[in-house]
Amino acid sequence: MKHSKRLMKCVMAGALCVAMTMPVLADTKADVTNQINTLESQASDLESELSSMKANKTSLESYIAELDTKIKSTLSDLNTVSDEIEQTNEEITVAKKNLKKAEADQKTQYDALKARIKAIYESDEDASFFRVLLQDADLKSVLNSQEYKSRINMYDYDLYTNLEETTQKILDYEQELGEKQANLEKNKDTYQQQMDELNVILDERQSELSSLDESMQAAYSDISDIQSQIDAQNNKMSAILADEKKTAEERAAKEAAVKKASQSTTTKKESSGSSSAKKETEAETETKAPETEAPETEAPETEAPKDNSSNSSSSWDGTVLSPSHGVVYGPTGKETYYNLDMSGVVSIMRNMGFSSEDYPYWVREDGCKMLGPYIMCAANLDRFPRGTTVESSLGTCLVCDTGGFAASNPTQLDIATNW
């Protein structure tokens, strides 16, 4: 994230420098083209960074969703444990009441058995057994002796034994509930700790997401600002092209006037020369015999071909568009090619001031269709107005046309070739 902020600061600083130098440097078509290319490079860097931030946001939102699911699950476990603790506390309360009652019943039965033993002892003529037994043993030992069991009602003994067992079971159950309660409290502490940790992580990620949203909004704003500068440069390019057209028209008008004046002067000279020659011929005819001359032939005038390739060479060191590489990604973006009749497109460019003298239509050796020194291409006219130049893998292109592809990919170039 820090790297992203540093990159955006550098890009915007570069854009600010460009904006500050524009009024001084952007005087020619080449200057404006360089400014546009620089701004588009900055916009491309920002768009790349924005794409990375979008991917990070998607990943972060997915992680936050997972955290939310874990928090809900842990909260459910915590609530379940809390309910079990509450239920166990109620069971412990009931167990304690039952234990108190069982101990009371056991004591009552215990007292009844003692009274019975006492009665047997007092009525027994031979109480030597009980006397000896009671001297060395407690009542429980007496109750467990076989002699006692044979001399008292077994119902009383069984009742006492059952009460004793019930009391022990209640004690065991109470102890079990206590252990269960301790484990539940331990689990509750564990779930609560997990909840606290998850909530801390969630707060950190939500704060990071908020910061990322702010950075993305800043990037969108920066891209919009750069696009406004690009639009301003495109308007400046249109003004330059209009001035070129006006200059070309004025020059053509002057050349036509000069040519017309020259033709008029030549006609007068030829007329005067013809009259003089006629008089001389007539004079010579009177004194000389006529001679026969071979007809004079005039060699056709030729003009050295213009160097129309100087501005279209490319310094691109990546994959170059060709018949075998029909789709490449060049210095501006995606590139494709098309082969159509260009007469209508050339006519439009002529009307814009691209004269046949300065911008002849021709086909380069590699098959690129040219208008003067530039490769003809189609592009998104909102982004690259007609008549502006843009770099491609094959060289500098002149935007002459557009197409339906421009709606889905505003940076794509469709290059005119004879392939």
pLDDT computed for residue 305 by the predictor:
38
> 410 CB contacts (<8 Å, ≥6 apart)?
380, 382, 383
Name which residue leads in pLDDT, 200 or 313.
Answer: 200
The owner of tokens 């557009």 is: 402
pLDDT computed for residue 303 by the predictor:
34
Tokens representing 357 are 């003298």
The owner of tokens 């490079």 is: 41
Residue type, 95: A
Cα 264 to Cα 253: distance, rounded to the nearest angstrom:
16
> 335 CB contacts (<8 Å, ≥6 apart)?
321, 327, 328, 329, 392, 393, 412, 413, 414, 415
According to DSSP, residue 417 is labeled B
Query: Under CATH, which number does the domain 2-232 receive?
Result: 1.10.287
Region for residue 387 given its phi and psi (left: phi exceeds 0; alpha: psi -120 to 50; beta: otherwise): left
The predicted-structure confidence for 2-29, as pLDDT tens digits, reads as follows 445 545 555 455 554 444 444 444 468 7
Cα 74 to Cα 191: distance, rounded to the nearest angstrom:
6
Cα 44 to Cα 260: distance, rounded to the nearest angstrom:
53
Cα 152 to Cα 225: distance, rounded to the nearest angstrom:
109
Output the CA torsion sign for 336, 339, 344, 349: positive
Region for residue 372 given its phi and psi (left: phi exceeds 0; alpha: psi -120 to 50; beta: otherwise): left
Name which residue leads in pLDDT, 115 or 146.
Answer: 115
Does residue 414 have a pLDDT over 90? yes
* Range of lowest pLDDT (12-21, 80-89, 312-321): 12-21
According to DSSP, residue 388 is labeled -
Residue 378: pLDDT band by 50, 70, 90 thresholds? Answer: very high
Cα 133 to Cα 384: distance, rounded to the nearest angstrom:
119
Residue 291: pLDDT band by 50, 70, 90 thresholds? Answer: very low
Instruction: List, by residue range, all CATH 1.10.287 domains of the chain.
Output: 2-232
Do residues 71 and 201 lie in contact, with contact meaning Cβ atoms separated by under 8 Å? no
pTM across the whole model: 0.44
pLDDT computed for residue 310 by the predictor:
43
CB contact burial 31-55 (16+ within 10 A = b; e otherwise): bbbebbbbbbebbbbbeebbeebee
Query: At 370, is the secondary structure helix, strand, or coil?
Result: strand
Cα 206 to Cα 60: distance, rounded to the nearest angstrom:
9
Does residue 287 have a pLDDT over 50? no
pLDDT computed for residue 122 by the predictor:
64
Cα 68 to Cα 409: distance, rounded to the nearest angstrom:
38
Does residue 157 have a pLDDT over 80? no
Query: At 321, is the secondary structure helix, strand, or coil?
Result: coil
- How many DSSP H helices and E strands does the chain contain? 7, 8
Establish how many alpha carbons lie within 13 A of residue 76's alpha carbon, considering only the half-sphere containing its beta carbon: 6
* Average pLDDT of the chain to the nearest whole number: 78
pLDDT computed for residue 284 by the predictor:
45
